[in-house]
A and B are shown apart, each in its own frame.
Chain A
Amino acid sequence: AQSVTQLGSHVSVSEGALVLLRCNYSSSVPPYLFWYVQYPNQGLQLLLKYTTGATLVKGINGFEAEFKKSETSFHLTKPSAHMSDAAEYFCAAGEGNKLVFGAGTILRVKS
């Protein structure tokens, strides 16, 4: 069964600094991969997804993620953090008709 690991339950960065949120999946066959963001008192919103093709995927709000098969990773990055990026971020992998979610990483942005 697929599992998704997000390293670091909390990440803190300064405004303007690089954001790096880590995600690794377990399956030997590369799955479809997603990043979602959750703001307080809201549902999850899709940031970006990787299905096939280009391994560098661009999403909304300036985020991007790179699929690396050799490392079974799909890390999320943003060159310059904004205060509005403070939220919880979830990595997910497709398994059959379901998504397997990681435990989430709370991003704090310091002014």
Chain B
Amino acid sequence: DAGVIQSPRHEVTEMGQEVTLRCKPISGHNSLFWYRQTMMRGLELLIYFNNNVPIDDSGMPEDRFSAKMPNASFSTLKIQPSEPRDSAVYFCASSLAQGASNQPQHFGDGTRLSIL
């Protein structure tokens, strides 16, 4: 079975540009998570969805960040405008969890984002 698919794998863009990261969760999973990983801060949860509905976006750093999940098989994380400090690896993960945390999360390979 296909795992979590993220695109692009790498993105290099200039400061001020809009960046859109994409994620396709594992079919049948009803929870989706966006994380950011940096050397300084480690792995941070940005936002998560249950059944396509955003449940907790308290980790989204600023209003420049937004995430959507228009259907069960697709989610986007958008940064507009982008800044150099947004450079990081962004991971998407999905799970069967719904109100229970005993299900593991399955991670994509990430998008390595560099803002110049």
Contact = CB atoms under 8 A, between A and B. Distances in A.
Interface of A: 31-32, 34, 36, 41-46, 49, 51, 90, 94-99, 101, 103-104
Given A43-B4, A95-B101, A101 B109 contact: no
Which 9 A-B pairs have CB atoms at the shortest separation, nearest pair first?
A94-B101, A43-B107, A32-B102, A44-B107, A51-B102, A46-B104, A43-B109, A101-B43, A103-B42
Given A90-B43, A97-B48, A103-B42, A43 B91 contact: yes
Given A43-B91, A44-B91, A45-B107, A98 B101 contact: yes
Contacts of B55: 97
Interface centre among A32, A43, A95, A104 (most CB of B within 10 A): A43
Contact of B101 (A44, A99, A101): A99
Contacts of B102: 32, 49, 51, 94
A97 B31 contact: yes
12 contacts: A41-B112, A42-B109, A42-B110, A43-B109, A44-B93, A44-B105, A44-B107, A45-B107, A49-B102, A97-B99, A97-B100, A97-B101
B108 interface: yes
B80 interface: no
Interface centre among A31, A96, A97 (most CB of B within 10 A): A97
